[in-house]
Structure 1
């Protein structure tokens, strides 16, 4: 072992130790490792930050932005409504939810997929009278499994692709991961659906209150092309029940009818008075093709059109002694004076009898408002109303749903075609999203998880040193001599198992960056197909099922599920064993060692 190898292995050992210690954030540890390599001369200062231009780093950033467009447009909400069963039992409901999470995670950030489906999971748990954790853990694990199926499904896949390129073998293509990844995901989803969720400890719900809302009363206009035209109110009862909503009134020609006859037929331009919660409101509007009454009447000046991408929805609670007390939206001239719309009002379970714009507000009322962030903030502070904990209330916009889904599909197909690299394809997708305003231009860069980007950019040069100094080959030789004893299949199992153990204890991207050069070293010494070993690293780095710290999705469900640190292995350990049992034969078949 020469001096350079000793130094890089020492830096790597300290880096892994810092990752496991958890005192510093992962990006800080990665930066420290990079600077240590520069300080001892293993990396030239001019080359220190080349990682920020790496294909994997650019692709991860672009996929995060495109994922946010799918999320904010309501495209996933539409998909969820058509796929998830509304009256199925636990097994089918959990199977459908877990499978949907896996499918979404193959093409968007899996943390975003989990965040989108968490409220749905909690609603399903409530309907089935199950502890929330028994639905949340299958959802989290399903979203992790789905990341193994495509190049962009998870950062480890992009990282191993980058190491393949640095080894002179070229980049992996979009669907090179699919055969093995789909097999692993399919076996995992079936196990979770039939057996796994039953192994999850039943814990008390914690933090679920953040997803609960009071029932709002809102008004929605029936457009001429709505599917409701010509139908009676009686016909809608079951469909409204499925969406946790009900029609409590109808306005026709400015005449309000409370508790209208169930036989009354809906006409174009009728205004339906609907009672529902904020989370269900978007589903009601998109399912029936309705338009929010106040939104329909909002100003449409040129300046409004230019800033349309800055319009948000926010819930505010009226404080005691607020100057809003006993005043209505009409009294306040909300649209004229503040440029905001009142979309709905909730009053502690009471049914409000007045038209929305004429309701006299009281302390404790919840208001669902629409407008620019600055205007809403100013209104709240001046009027004595405070914003609730942030809620992602999405009113699906058909144009943005189609555009955001089309852009993501186009980027995936372009990357899959091989005409351009994945980084270029998804960067083009981001540009198209910005040009067509499917993402908020002001906050587009806020959608990027910068600690992950910095982690990747800093660790890639460090991992490159492992390869260039021969240290990776040194570690590979140790693993072969003491564990695999020259057997390629056993070596493959050792690489997969080592990766899976490390990824449960430290960031999955960091794990992939550390193990990829070692995997290449093992393949080179055995003179076998390096792709088999790189794919093992990709699979192993994605499968963090034993601890709440191994993956962000595991951490996200810790509070809402009421879990303890040791709860994850009960379903995670048998799932890990199934992953190994499925992945090894699939890897040997799809990526034969002598290939």
Structure 2
């Protein structure tokens, strides 16, 4: 072995030890490994940060943004309600979600399949009361397994097909991978979904700790197109219970009913007082097409103001025309024309000033923020109507949380007390100004959302368009997903100010720093040396042992290298070994395809493993607990299937 090969092995071993130790954050260890490679000359300084422009890094960042957009628009709520079992326990729920991920991954990029279902997994974990990671890791592994079933399921399959064509054997077809891929996927999902998920460490995210506000009381209006119109209160309550919400009151006209009769039929314009957890508030509204009362009032006020402004403008314009007509009669056409020009100029100026007033000088992005009322706040004893909340500040009071004490008054006429938590909606500057004026403390940002009608369908449409563009080879996945993110921003599906907040930057740094390190492993010939040595020492001319070694070595390398790079390194070696042994090269190429995709031991072996690192609260050494048994299952199932489908 050369000096460079010894150095890269030493750097990788030391990095693995630091990752396992967990004393430093994973992005710091990755940065240290990259710096060590640069200082030792293994990675040229000019190429030090090329990893951050790698398509894999861009794809991961885009997937995180798209996943966030699908979540906040309520698209995920609809998907989980219609496809997954609603009343199942954790085992059946995890198994169903993992199986769905595998099916989707066979016909779309497995990264995209994970992005689509990751928010569903997070909600499922919260509903089942289990750590998020115990749902996310099976989901990620299921999406990886499903990608092995078709040609387009994962990049290594395309790379293996390309190497087969270069060797003169032609490309693989769409479903040549299916017999082996489906076999390991079915067995793998049965193991992961029914047994394996219990092996995942029950980590909690560091940011998950937050102020406990309890449930919110809020008012919702039954609009004309709501699914609740014509249903009884009992039927509506049954739907809301699935979203952890309940009805505690009702308003019809000027009459407030504290304990409404369960068989009462709901009509348009009724107002329901519901109690819900802050995170489930949006899904509770979306399940029945309900509207927050404050938003309805705000929209009506805006429309009335617009109509009033239009009426006033028409009256002024009519008066101006009458004056101009009188002026023409009295002073002659020349003077009238001159006056008309001046009047038009004045009218244009007034219109400009009016439009300028209507155009907000600050951001018009609405945010939903929780504010705690301090004990000495001058809000105490006052109501939203008293302080003219909407008129003075342009913000809405959506709900109030009061530690279990319920008010029998309407929301806008409920006196506010010290310690109340207010759910406010408005532009960030207005909410901040209100908080400063009335001594309210903003809580840490939480995923509290109110879906906008139509945005869920739009978000899914854009996302699926990106998926189809990659599936049919129109655009690379990184370009298609980048275009989808831009569309999300342009259409305000994800507010521009929230785009960068939705990206897990330590994960991006980890991936961008380690890609040049993995490249150094390939460029120095270290991967070839290690794989060749293992085959010479252990295979000793036995084709079956050589096949197993190719599979195991490929899986091992893929756990620490990019899976596409691993496939590119191992394919020439597999073809060479098959040629030397005089056996069918397809068996060895398929072993490379399976091994390159099935990387379950580390968060850096596959993009899907990397994606769940932050949301699952995982450490680097958490993956092998479930990953090692899954890799054993893959080897045990795939070797006999390979020998049967692709005999030596």
Per the normalisation by structure 1, the TM-score is: 0.79
Aligned to 1:483: 538
Post-superposition Cα deviations, 1:481-515, rounded to whole Å, max 9, x if no partner, equal 23344556545544654676788xxxx66574885
Match of 2:570 among 493, 513, 519: 519
1:461 aligns with 2:516: yes
CA distance in 2, matches of 1:3, 1:50: 24
Q: Which range is displaced more, 216-225 or 103-112?
A: 103-112
CA distance in 2, matches of 1:390, 1:274: 23
Of structures 1 and 2, the larger Rg is shown by 2
Match of 1:123 among 127, 130, 146: 127
Structure 2: any 5+ residue segments left out of the alignment?
307-357, 579-584, 604-608
CA distance in 2, matches of 1:226, 1:490: 64
CA contact (8 A) 1:99 1:189 kept: yes
CA contact (8 A) 1:70 1:404 kept: yes
Shift of 1:320: 2.3
CA distance in 1, matches of 2:379, 2:29: 50
CA distance in 2, matches of 1:50, 1:557: 28
CA contact (8 A) 2:383 2:416 kept: yes
CA distance in 2, matches of 1:60, 1:112: 13
CA contact (8 A) 2:74 2:286 kept: no
1:542 aligns with 2:596: no
Post-superposition Cα deviations, 1:555-595, rounded to whole Å, max 9, x if no partner, equal 76579xxx9x99984x66644432333444566788x598x
CA distance in 2, matches of 1:415, 1:464: 25
SS of 2:224's equivalent in the other structure is coil
C-alpha distance 381-249 of structure 1, shift in aligned 2 (>3 A): same
SS of 1:314's equivalent in the other structure is strand
CA distance in 1, matches of 2:199, 2:45: 51
C-alpha distance 573-158 of structure 1, shift in aligned 2 (>3 A): closer
CA distance in 1, matches of 2:622, 2:406: 46
Aligned to 1:79: 79
Aligned to 1:255: 255
Per the normalisation by structure 2, the TM-score is: 0.73
Aligned to 1:311: 366
Post-superposition Cα deviations, 1:382-412, rounded to whole Å, max 9, x if no partner, equal 4333334432123222322111111111111
Match of 1:141 among 138, 141, 145: 138
C-alpha distance 98-382 of structure 1, shift in aligned 2 (>3 A): farther
Aligned to 1:326: 381
Q: Which range is displaced more, 324-333 or 29-38?
A: 29-38
Match of 2:407 among 352, 359, 377: 352
CA contact (8 A) 2:27 2:509 kept: yes
Structure 1: any 5+ residue segments left out of the alignment?
126-131
Shift of 1:357: 0.7
Post-superposition Cα deviations, 1:29-57, rounded to whole Å, max 9, x if no partner, equal 44444444444444443344333333323
CA distance in 1, matches of 2:172, 2:493: 29
Aligned to 1:128: none
C-alpha distance 389-306 of structure 1, shift in aligned 2 (>3 A): closer
Q: Which range is displaced more, 315-324 or 412-421?
A: 315-324
Aligned to 2:479: 424
Aligned to 2:320: none
CA contact (8 A) 1:340 1:372 kept: yes
Shift of 1:293: 0.9
Aligned to 1:288: 288
Shift of 1:88: 3.5
Aligned to 2:64: 64
Aligned to 1:581: 636
CA contact (8 A) 1:472 1:521 kept: no
